[in-house]
Amino acid sequence: MKHKKTVLITGTSSGMGRATAVYLAKQGYVVYAGTRTPHKLFDIQSENIRPIHLDITDFQNIEKALLYIPKIDILINNAGYGLVSTVEDVTEEEMFAQFNVNVFGVLRLCKAVIPKMRHQNDGIIINISSFLGKIGLPLLTFYNASKYAVEGITDSLRYELKDFNIRVHSIMPGFFDTNFAKDNLVMNAKTFEEDSTYATLVSTLAPTIVEQINSGNDASEVAQMILEIIEKEDSPARQTAGDKAKKFIPMKKELSDEDFERRVRAYYHL
Protein backbone atom coordinates (compact mmCIF):
# COMPACT_ATOMS: atom_id res chain seq x y z
CA MET A 1 0.00 0.00 0.00
CA LYS A 2 1.39 3.38 -1.02
CA HIS A 3 2.37 5.62 1.89
CA LYS A 4 0.15 8.67 2.24
CA LYS A 5 2.48 11.63 2.39
CA THR A 6 2.19 13.65 5.58
CA VAL A 7 2.13 17.44 5.60
CA LEU A 8 2.58 19.84 8.51
CA ILE A 9 1.19 23.33 7.88
CA THR A 10 1.48 26.26 10.28
CA GLY A 11 -1.11 29.02 10.58
CA THR A 12 -4.10 27.00 9.39
CA SER A 13 -6.96 28.68 11.26
CA SER A 14 -7.80 30.85 8.23
CA GLY A 15 -6.65 32.09 4.85
CA MET A 16 -4.01 30.32 2.80
CA GLY A 17 -3.20 27.85 5.55
CA ARG A 18 -6.76 26.63 5.88
CA ALA A 19 -7.33 26.57 2.11
CA THR A 20 -4.14 24.56 1.61
CA ALA A 21 -5.05 22.08 4.35
CA VAL A 22 -8.43 21.42 2.73
CA TYR A 23 -7.01 21.21 -0.78
CA LEU A 24 -4.15 18.84 0.04
CA ALA A 25 -6.43 16.61 2.11
CA LYS A 26 -8.71 16.23 -0.91
CA GLN A 27 -5.68 15.08 -2.91
CA GLY A 28 -5.04 12.29 -0.40
CA TYR A 29 -2.39 13.89 1.79
CA VAL A 30 -2.57 13.54 5.56
CA VAL A 31 -2.47 17.10 6.87
CA TYR A 32 -1.52 18.08 10.39
CA ALA A 33 -3.05 21.53 10.62
CA GLY A 34 -1.02 23.54 13.11
CA THR A 35 -2.61 26.49 14.87
CA ARG A 36 -2.85 28.10 18.29
CA THR A 37 -6.66 27.75 17.96
CA PRO A 38 -7.40 24.15 16.89
CA HIS A 39 -11.11 24.57 17.70
CA LYS A 40 -11.41 26.77 14.60
CA LEU A 41 -10.69 23.71 12.48
CA PHE A 42 -13.16 21.31 14.05
CA ASP A 43 -15.59 21.99 11.17
CA ILE A 44 -13.11 20.54 8.64
CA GLN A 45 -11.52 17.89 10.85
CA SER A 46 -11.38 14.49 9.13
CA GLU A 47 -9.19 11.44 8.66
CA ASN A 48 -6.93 13.53 6.42
CA ILE A 49 -7.13 16.83 8.36
CA ARG A 50 -5.85 16.60 11.90
CA PRO A 51 -5.85 19.87 13.86
CA ILE A 52 -2.93 20.19 16.24
CA HIS A 53 -2.07 22.86 18.78
CA LEU A 54 1.10 24.58 17.60
CA ASP A 55 2.69 27.78 18.90
CA ILE A 56 5.60 28.64 16.61
CA THR A 57 7.00 31.11 19.16
CA ASP A 58 7.63 28.30 21.66
CA PHE A 59 10.20 25.66 20.72
CA GLN A 60 9.15 23.34 23.56
CA ASN A 61 5.57 23.45 22.30
CA ILE A 62 6.79 22.64 18.79
CA GLU A 63 8.76 19.63 20.03
CA LYS A 64 5.75 18.41 21.99
CA ALA A 65 3.47 18.79 18.98
CA LEU A 66 5.85 16.84 16.76
CA LEU A 67 5.61 13.85 19.11
CA TYR A 68 2.10 13.31 17.73
CA ILE A 69 3.31 13.27 14.11
CA PRO A 70 5.11 10.00 13.29
CA LYS A 71 6.47 11.19 9.93
CA ILE A 72 6.72 14.56 8.18
CA ASP A 73 7.24 14.52 4.43
CA ILE A 74 6.38 18.17 3.78
CA LEU A 75 6.62 21.26 5.98
CA ILE A 76 4.73 24.39 4.93
CA ASN A 77 5.74 27.47 6.94
CA ASN A 78 2.67 29.63 6.46
CA ALA A 79 2.00 31.37 9.79
CA GLY A 80 2.64 35.10 9.87
CA TYR A 81 1.21 38.58 10.26
CA GLY A 82 2.00 42.13 9.22
CA LEU A 83 3.03 45.02 11.46
CA VAL A 84 2.08 48.44 10.10
CA SER A 85 4.33 51.06 11.67
CA THR A 86 6.97 53.61 10.90
CA VAL A 87 10.47 52.89 12.11
CA GLU A 88 10.33 56.01 14.27
CA ASP A 89 7.18 54.93 16.10
CA VAL A 90 7.69 51.19 16.54
CA THR A 91 8.06 49.76 20.04
CA GLU A 92 10.66 47.18 21.03
CA GLU A 93 7.87 44.69 21.74
CA GLU A 94 6.26 45.18 18.31
CA MET A 95 9.59 44.92 16.52
CA PHE A 96 10.57 41.68 18.26
CA ALA A 97 7.12 40.13 17.91
CA GLN A 98 7.14 40.64 14.14
CA PHE A 99 10.41 38.78 13.74
CA ASN A 100 9.56 36.23 16.43
CA VAL A 101 6.63 34.97 14.37
CA ASN A 102 7.60 35.63 10.75
CA VAL A 103 11.30 34.75 10.95
CA PHE A 104 12.18 32.91 14.15
CA GLY A 105 8.98 30.85 13.82
CA VAL A 106 10.14 29.59 10.42
CA LEU A 107 13.59 28.80 11.81
CA ARG A 108 12.16 26.98 14.85
CA LEU A 109 10.00 24.73 12.68
CA CYS A 110 12.87 24.02 10.32
CA LYS A 111 15.20 23.24 13.24
CA ALA A 112 12.65 20.78 14.66
CA VAL A 113 11.67 19.10 11.39
CA ILE A 114 14.98 18.91 9.49
CA PRO A 115 16.42 16.05 11.62
CA LYS A 116 13.36 13.93 10.80
CA MET A 117 13.66 14.66 7.09
CA ARG A 118 17.42 14.13 7.12
CA HIS A 119 16.98 10.75 8.83
CA GLN A 120 14.53 9.62 6.14
CA ASN A 121 16.71 11.23 3.40
CA ASP A 122 13.69 12.93 1.92
CA GLY A 123 11.56 16.00 2.47
CA ILE A 124 10.14 19.27 1.15
CA ILE A 125 10.04 22.63 2.92
CA ILE A 126 7.86 25.38 1.45
CA ASN A 127 8.08 28.84 2.99
CA ILE A 128 5.18 31.19 2.36
CA SER A 129 6.91 34.50 1.91
CA SER A 130 5.53 37.56 0.11
CA PHE A 131 6.25 39.68 -2.92
CA LEU A 132 7.15 42.22 -0.23
CA GLY A 133 10.12 39.97 0.48
CA LYS A 134 11.65 41.51 -2.63
CA ILE A 135 9.99 44.95 -2.65
CA GLY A 136 9.98 47.60 0.06
CA LEU A 137 6.95 49.71 0.98
CA PRO A 138 6.66 52.42 3.63
CA LEU A 139 4.76 51.59 6.83
CA LEU A 140 5.52 47.90 6.19
CA THR A 141 9.25 48.07 6.92
CA PHE A 142 9.20 45.33 9.55
CA TYR A 143 6.94 43.01 7.55
CA ASN A 144 9.15 43.67 4.50
CA ALA A 145 12.30 42.94 6.47
CA SER A 146 10.85 39.73 7.92
CA LYS A 147 9.93 38.45 4.47
CA TYR A 148 13.30 39.46 3.02
CA ALA A 149 14.72 37.29 5.82
CA VAL A 150 12.49 34.36 4.82
CA GLU A 151 13.84 34.64 1.28
CA GLY A 152 17.38 34.51 2.66
CA ILE A 153 16.55 31.49 4.78
CA THR A 154 15.15 29.74 1.72
CA ASP A 155 18.24 30.46 -0.36
CA SER A 156 20.66 29.24 2.31
CA LEU A 157 18.69 26.11 3.22
CA ARG A 158 18.62 25.02 -0.42
CA TYR A 159 22.41 24.67 -0.23
CA GLU A 160 22.47 23.32 3.31
CA LEU A 161 19.97 20.51 2.76
CA LYS A 162 20.63 19.47 -0.83
CA ASP A 163 22.85 16.52 0.15
CA PHE A 164 20.02 15.10 2.26
CA ASN A 165 17.48 15.09 -0.59
CA ILE A 166 15.44 17.88 1.07
CA ARG A 167 13.98 20.42 -1.33
CA VAL A 168 13.37 23.99 -0.14
CA HIS A 169 11.11 26.49 -1.94
CA SER A 170 9.35 29.77 -1.32
CA ILE A 171 6.11 31.19 -2.64
CA MET A 172 5.81 34.98 -2.86
CA PRO A 173 2.11 35.86 -2.87
CA GLY A 174 0.80 39.29 -3.71
CA PHE A 175 -2.33 40.54 -1.98
CA PHE A 176 -4.90 37.82 -1.31
CA ASP A 177 -8.45 38.02 -0.01
CA THR A 178 -7.84 35.98 3.17
CA ASN A 179 -9.11 38.30 5.96
CA PHE A 180 -5.44 39.32 6.31
CA ALA A 181 -6.36 42.99 6.59
CA LYS A 182 -8.84 42.24 9.39
CA ASP A 183 -7.10 39.46 11.30
CA ASN A 184 -3.40 39.69 10.52
CA LEU A 185 -2.47 43.36 10.36
CA VAL A 186 -1.27 44.95 13.60
CA MET A 187 -1.33 48.76 13.64
CA ASN A 188 1.09 50.84 15.69
CA ALA A 189 -1.10 53.27 17.62
CA LYS A 190 1.25 56.26 17.36
CA THR A 191 1.65 55.93 13.59
CA PHE A 192 -2.13 56.04 13.18
CA GLU A 193 -2.81 59.06 15.42
CA GLU A 194 -4.51 61.92 13.63
CA ASP A 195 -1.64 64.31 14.41
CA SER A 196 1.08 61.79 13.47
CA THR A 197 4.08 63.19 11.65
CA TYR A 198 3.29 60.57 9.00
CA ALA A 199 -0.46 61.29 8.76
CA THR A 200 -0.28 62.21 5.06
CA LEU A 201 1.56 59.00 4.18
CA VAL A 202 -0.85 56.91 6.27
CA SER A 203 -3.95 58.48 4.72
CA THR A 204 -2.54 57.95 1.23
CA LEU A 205 -1.17 54.42 1.48
CA ALA A 206 -2.99 52.51 4.22
CA PRO A 207 -6.51 52.54 2.67
CA THR A 208 -5.07 51.51 -0.70
CA ILE A 209 -3.21 48.54 0.78
CA VAL A 210 -6.26 47.39 2.76
CA GLU A 211 -8.48 47.68 -0.34
CA GLN A 212 -5.98 45.71 -2.44
CA ILE A 213 -5.86 42.96 0.19
CA ASN A 214 -9.65 42.77 0.46
CA SER A 215 -10.04 42.56 -3.32
CA GLY A 216 -7.07 40.27 -3.84
CA ASN A 217 -6.76 36.82 -5.37
CA ASP A 218 -8.37 33.69 -3.94
CA ALA A 219 -6.30 31.60 -1.53
CA SER A 220 -6.94 28.48 -3.61
CA GLU A 221 -4.36 29.79 -6.11
CA VAL A 222 -1.61 29.36 -3.51
CA ALA A 223 -2.93 25.93 -2.48
CA GLN A 224 -2.75 24.73 -6.06
CA MET A 225 0.78 26.10 -6.44
CA ILE A 226 1.87 24.27 -3.29
CA LEU A 227 0.56 20.98 -4.69
CA GLU A 228 2.44 21.61 -7.93
CA ILE A 229 5.70 22.24 -6.05
CA ILE A 230 5.22 19.07 -4.01
CA GLU A 231 4.56 16.88 -7.02
CA LYS A 232 7.14 18.36 -9.44
CA GLU A 233 10.69 17.67 -8.34
CA ASP A 234 12.10 20.24 -10.77
CA SER A 235 9.99 23.10 -9.39
CA PRO A 236 11.82 26.44 -9.30
CA ALA A 237 13.27 27.75 -6.07
CA ARG A 238 10.57 30.40 -5.77
CA GLN A 239 7.34 31.30 -7.48
CA THR A 240 5.01 34.28 -7.42
CA ALA A 241 1.27 34.07 -6.88
CA GLY A 242 -1.36 36.73 -7.42
CA ASP A 243 -1.65 39.79 -9.64
CA LYS A 244 0.53 42.20 -7.65
CA ALA A 245 3.39 39.74 -7.32
CA LYS A 246 3.30 38.87 -11.02
CA LYS A 247 3.33 42.59 -11.85
CA PHE A 248 6.02 43.89 -9.51
CA ILE A 249 8.56 41.06 -9.23
CA PRO A 250 9.38 40.91 -12.98
CA MET A 251 9.45 44.72 -13.05
CA LYS A 252 11.91 44.73 -10.16
CA LYS A 253 14.24 42.46 -12.14
CA GLU A 254 14.05 44.54 -15.32
CA LEU A 255 14.53 48.06 -13.93
CA SER A 256 17.26 49.79 -12.01
CA ASP A 257 16.52 50.31 -8.32
CA GLU A 258 15.89 54.00 -8.94
CA ASP A 259 13.53 53.44 -11.88
CA PHE A 260 11.64 50.78 -9.99
CA GLU A 261 11.27 53.09 -6.99
CA ARG A 262 9.83 55.78 -9.28
CA ARG A 263 7.28 53.28 -10.62
CA VAL A 264 6.21 52.26 -7.12
CA ARG A 265 5.94 55.90 -6.00
CA ALA A 266 3.74 56.68 -8.99
CA TYR A 267 1.59 53.57 -8.53
CA TYR A 268 0.90 54.24 -4.85
CA HIS A 269 0.89 58.07 -5.14
CA LEU A 270 3.78 58.42 -2.72
The torsion region of residue 147 among left (phi > 0), alpha (psi -120 to 50) and beta comes to alpha
Q: Specify the amino acid at residue 182.
A: K
Distance between CA atoms of residues 218 and 213, nearest Å: 10
41 φ/ψ angles, rounded to the nearest 5 degrees:
-110, 0
Active site residue 147: yes
Could you give the strand order of the β-sheet that contains 49-53, starting from the edge strand earlier in sequence? 49-53, 30-35, 6-9, 74-77, 123-128, 166-173, 238-241
Active site residue 129: yes
What's the CA dihedral at 35, 40, 43, 46 to 10 degrees?
20
Active site residue 268: no
Choosing from 29, 143, 148, 198, the catalytic residue is 143
For 59, which DSSP code?
A: H
Active site residue 232: no
Choosing from 23, 32, 85, 129, the catalytic residue is 129
Going from the C-alpha of 190 to that of each of 85, 88, 136, 196, the distances in angstroms are 8, 10, 21, 7
Choosing from 85, 147, 170, 198, the catalytic residue is 147
Quote the radius of gyration of the chain (alpha carbons, Å).
Answer: 19
Q: Which residues are catalytic?
A: 13, 129, 143, 147
